[in-house]
Chains A and B, each alone.
Chain A
Amino acid sequence: MSPQTCWHCGEPTLATIPIHVEIAGESRTLCCHGCVAAAQWIQQLGLWDYYRLRTGPARKPSTSPDDDRRTNIAWSRPDANQHVVRKAGNGHSETMLLVEGVRCSACVWLIERVLGAVPGISSVQVNAASRRARIVWDDSRITLTQILDLLSRSGYRGLPLNSQSLDDSRRRESRDALKRLLVAAFGAMQAMMFASVLYLGAIDATDTSTRQLFRWLGFLAATPVVLYSARPFFAGAWRSLQARQPGMDVPVALAIAMIYAASLFEAVRGNGHVYFDSVSMFVLFLLAGRFLEMRARHRAGDLTDALARLTPPFADRLVRDGTVERVSVHELAVGDTVLVTEGSIVPADGLLLSAACRVDEALLTGESSPQARSRGDTVIAGSTLIDGPAQLRVLRIGNDTALAGIATLVSRAHAQRPQLAQLGERAASRFVIRVLALTALTIAFWNYVDPSRAFAAALAVLVVSCPCAFALAVPAAITRAISVLARHGVLIVKPDAIQSLAAATHVVFDKTGTLTDPHLSLSDVSTTSRVTRQSALQLSLAIARASRHPTARAIVAACGDLKCDPQDSASHVIALSGFGLRATVDGREVRLGRADFALGSAEVLPTDDCVVLADDAGTLATFKFSERLRTGAREAIAGLQAQGLQVAVASGDAIAKVASIAAAVGVTTWRGRLLPADKLAWISAMRAAGARVIVVGDGVNDAPVLAGADVGIAQAGGADIAQASSDVVLVGGRLEALPLARQIAQETLTILRQNQRWTMLYNFTAVPLAAAGMVHPWLAALGMSLSSVCVLLNALRIGRRSDRNPVVHAPPVTAGNLPQGCVV
């Protein structure tokens, strides 16, 4: 086996025979016909530059193009179509697609070229960060199905999103914020410039008319800032007053209005200090803080929205005349007969009509080994059919299914969780109220001592203490932490997760799919005396690579790890669904599969995790499979324990399996056979005892716990509902990033506290001086800006330490150390 990789998708060309195709004058090696078709199609369009521009390999095209095609056709059914397409007027339609396989800007380039050149498509906008494409087309010239087909041909997969995602309140919000920020920046610059003339006395100080001119110029520069840029604060204050729940906006709006009005009063009077520069900068800093927050929120929203808005999948319904039609799950009714193919997901709870099948319920229950079902048994929605095809009669649909029950549990758990986000807001609000009280005190004091100085001193207090640094401290630190963590493969979905992450005391891991690999792995090979271990593996590899069955793939993967070449003489490999594979090797028949099938006798009982290689003379070799520990699981747990966290394992799987995995990772607290509700109860009990709990999981059954924990961490490859109910998503299942993530979270909190302490210190020094009437306007403005800059620079220190020592990747745990086979 040569270590060649596919030119198109970058996967090793091991699983199938490599294909050499002449493209763009050079011979390229490709792994499958899907890649060949995509590469030739891209070349034919003259878009070969895609391969030059891209920075990573392309998505592997679907292995079942016919199946994709039927799904694409099903999107044109009115029932599915109405949810995802919006009429844009004059015969045009508009939709938002989540495009699977967009990995870099070159993909965007390719998609825009491929679709943009098609007559009938009037607009294509692809965003690489959120993997979304907004497409507008002319109904009379092209259909949604044709557009999805074009994407499929290029190697991508378009998933239409609910048409609500077209209403981009988010885009409007970010445009508005940008404009307000720019006006504030321009206004503040100008106001500062005019004010410095007054401060520095560049103009002859005795020339009162010139001073007066610059006062009015400052007014001119600050007016758009206060009346336009600061409008969100006034609007927010008004709203919260109407709702009788004064928030942070009320004191901020009050301070802006007071400084502006007082300065205007001084300008009219033509005497005393004006603070137009300070009020503009105040607005600028506050807006900058809010802008950073908004960006973080939108990024997180892109991630969760796409998951929550994915419209339901399709099902293959058997029509009376024997044909199969693909309909959306909404259209299914109780009593319908649906056909589920091997490897696809069961669309609704149903009664099995076929003789027997096995289903994988790992995501739903945490059970790691496939479950056998026979005629008359119930199969639940959301489980994956391992060997099929199977026919089901629909028993329950929509909200009545077991899956929907879990979704309800998720929303209930969410509602019970305290919201930390508002705590910071409340602290800042309290601070501003105190400042206002202090201002009132200052006025009262000076009225008593020297009424002529009361106004100036009160104004100075207000300006000096205005919480610019306060407003910037939290968003700057959080934004920096989010970007540092993203670089390490940890996506923060909800920004307040950082605080909870740092404060956590307990970590609970799910087992199946989180600590262990969801794919089976070859754990043991035992051979008979007729073959060597090596030749048994070579023979099995030659047969197994024709199949995509999980056990066949485990054999192929193990052989790849062992650098084992396939024996070339195997031919005529035939897959018998549910039993195994049959092939001809050197003129004799060899079978690989369930024991009863491989040995050709019905008396042998098949076992779930055992595959037999046999010819007509009997057994050649027996393969055993087990789940294997994920890369980095042990390191992650050791790292978290070293940080003083209590680690536990909660799983829905069999007790013995949980025990062995817990022992392997060095965890003493574990529980098995837990239902989603049991897990939630356990976590709630921990939290009631004062623990702050991080939960790491990936399955549907973990979703309620993820939502109910202080921090829910989901794996990016896991179930959609688990990701949607989590606060943090781990990209590429990199568990070893967890200890680092917690470290960065703690660092962030330290910096946050430093920032707040610094702001306090500054205020405690400056406010009394201002109250005593000793602070000049220029000093007040300077102090305000400097304290804000200090806060920003301090925030940039987050993650510096971890950047210098990047994460060291542990070598992957492979099946390389297989025990030597014993003779059966």
Chain B
Amino acid sequence: MCRLNILLIMIPLSALLIVGAAVAFFWAVDHDQFDDMDTPALLPLDDSPQNGSEMQ
């Protein structure tokens, strides 16, 4: 019987995790994370400071 008791905890727990993952994924899709799969790959490689003051 103890085997089944542990199931009663594990199954809701797994369901909770799934729902959490789904919510996180929906958030990511809605925040442009999957719109462009090619471009951003290179962008974080370099992070030099921007000299915006020289622009105009």
> Which one of B29, B43, B52 lies within 8 Å of A105 (CB-CB)?
B43
Q: B42 within 8 Å of A by Cβ?
A: yes
Complexed CA–CA distance, A118 and B55 (Å):
6
Interface range, B side: 20 to 34
Q: B38 contacts A53, CB within 8 Å? A: no
Complexed CA–CA distance, A46 and B54 (Å):
9
Complexed CA–CA distance, A52 and B46 (Å):
10
- Known A45-B55, A46-B50: A109·B42 in contact at CB below 8 Å: yes
| Cβ–Cβ < 8 Å partners of B55 in chain A | 45, 117-119
Q: A128 contacts B39, CB within 8 Å? A: yes
Complexed CA–CA distance, A220 and B19 (Å):
12
B2-25 Cβ-contact flags toward A at 8 Å (1 or 0): 001000000100110010011001
Q: B29 contacts A112, CB within 8 Å? A: no
Q: B39 contacts A105, CB within 8 Å? A: yes
> Do most interface residues of chain A lie in helix, strand or loop, or is the interface mixed?
helix
> Which one of A129, A175, A186, A220 lies within 8 Å of B22 (CB-CB)?
A186
| Cβ–Cβ < 8 Å partners of B11 in chain A | 217
Complexed CA–CA distance, A484 and B41 (Å):
22
Q: A126 within 8 Å of B by Cβ?
A: yes
| Cβ–Cβ < 8 Å partners of A569 in chain B | none
Complexed CA–CA distance, A179 and B33 (Å):
12
Residue of B nearest to A186 (CB): B18
| Cβ–Cβ < 8 Å partners of A47 in chain B | 48
Q: B42 contacts A105, CB within 8 Å? A: yes
Q: B39 contacts A127, CB within 8 Å? A: yes
Q: A109 contacts B46, CB within 8 Å? A: yes
Q: B46 contacts A119, CB within 8 Å? A: no
Q: A67 within 8 Å of B by Cβ?
A: no
Complexed CA–CA distance, A561 and B42 (Å):
37
Q: How far is the CB of A211 from chain B (nearest CB, A)?
A: 12
Q: A182 within 8 Å of B by Cβ?
A: yes
Q: How far is the CB of B15 from chain A (nearest CB, A)?
A: 8
Give the most central of A53, A105, A118: most B CB within 10 Å: A105
> Which one of B25, B43, B51, B56 lies within 8 Å of A119 (CB-CB)?
B56
Within 8 A of B (CB), among A188-246: 190, 203, 210, 217, 220
Q: B29 contacts A46, CB within 8 Å? A: no
Residue of A nearest to B4 (CB): A210
Within 8 A of A (CB), among B24-45: 25-26, 29-30, 32, 34-36, 38-43, 45
| Cβ–Cβ < 8 Å partners of B43 in chain A | 105, 108-109, 112
| Cβ–Cβ < 8 Å partners of B25 in chain A | 179, 182
Q: A520 within 8 Å of B by Cβ?
A: no
Q: B18 contacts A118, CB within 8 Å? A: no
Q: A105 contacts B54, CB within 8 Å? A: no
Q: How far is the CB of A221 from chain B (nearest CB, A)?
A: 8
- Known A105-B42, A109-B46, A217-B11: A127·B54 in contact at CB below 8 Å: no
Q: A300 within 8 Å of B by Cβ?
A: no
A402-442 Cβ-contact flags toward B at 8 Å (1 or 0): 00000000000000000000000000000000000000000
Residue of B nearest to A128 (CB): B39
Residue of A nearest to B42 (CB): A105
Q: How far is the CB of A685 from chain B (nearest CB, A)?
A: 44
| Cβ–Cβ < 8 Å partners of A109 in chain B | 42-43, 46
Q: A186 contacts B21, CB within 8 Å? A: yes
Q: A105 contacts B41, CB within 8 Å? A: yes
Q: B46 contacts A53, CB within 8 Å? A: yes
| Cβ–Cβ < 8 Å partners of B38 in chain A | 105, 127-129
Q: A106 within 8 Å of B by Cβ?
A: yes
Complexed CA–CA distance, A387 and B15 (Å):
74
Complexed CA–CA distance, A762 and B38 (Å):
38
Complexed CA–CA distance, A117 and B45 (Å):
19
- Known A105-B41, A210-B4: A178·B50 in contact at CB below 8 Å: no
| Cβ–Cβ < 8 Å partners of A53 in chain B | 42, 45-46
Q: A171 within 8 Å of B by Cβ?
A: yes
Complexed CA–CA distance, A105 and B55 (Å):
22
- Known A105-B39, A186-B22: A175·B30 in contact at CB below 8 Å: yes
Mind listing 21 A-B residue pairs with CB under 8 Å?
Answer: A45-B51, A45-B54, A49-B46, A105-B43, A108-B43, A117-B52, A118-B52, A118-B55, A119-B55, A125-B32, A126-B39, A127-B35, A127-B36, A128-B39, A174-B34, A175-B34, A179-B29, A182-B22, A186-B18, A186-B21, A186-B22
- What are the 3 tightest A-B residue pairs by CB atom distance, in nearest-first order? A117-B52, A105-B42, A46-B51
Which A residues are within 8 Å of any B CB, using their own CB?
44-47, 49, 52-53, 104-106, 108-109, 112-113, 116-119, 125-129, 171, 174-175, 178-179, 182-183, 186, 190, 203, 210, 217, 220
Q: A105-B39, A127-B35 are in contact. List 6 more A-B contacts (CB 8 A).
A: A49-B46, A49-B48, A112-B43, A171-B35, A178-B34, A182-B22
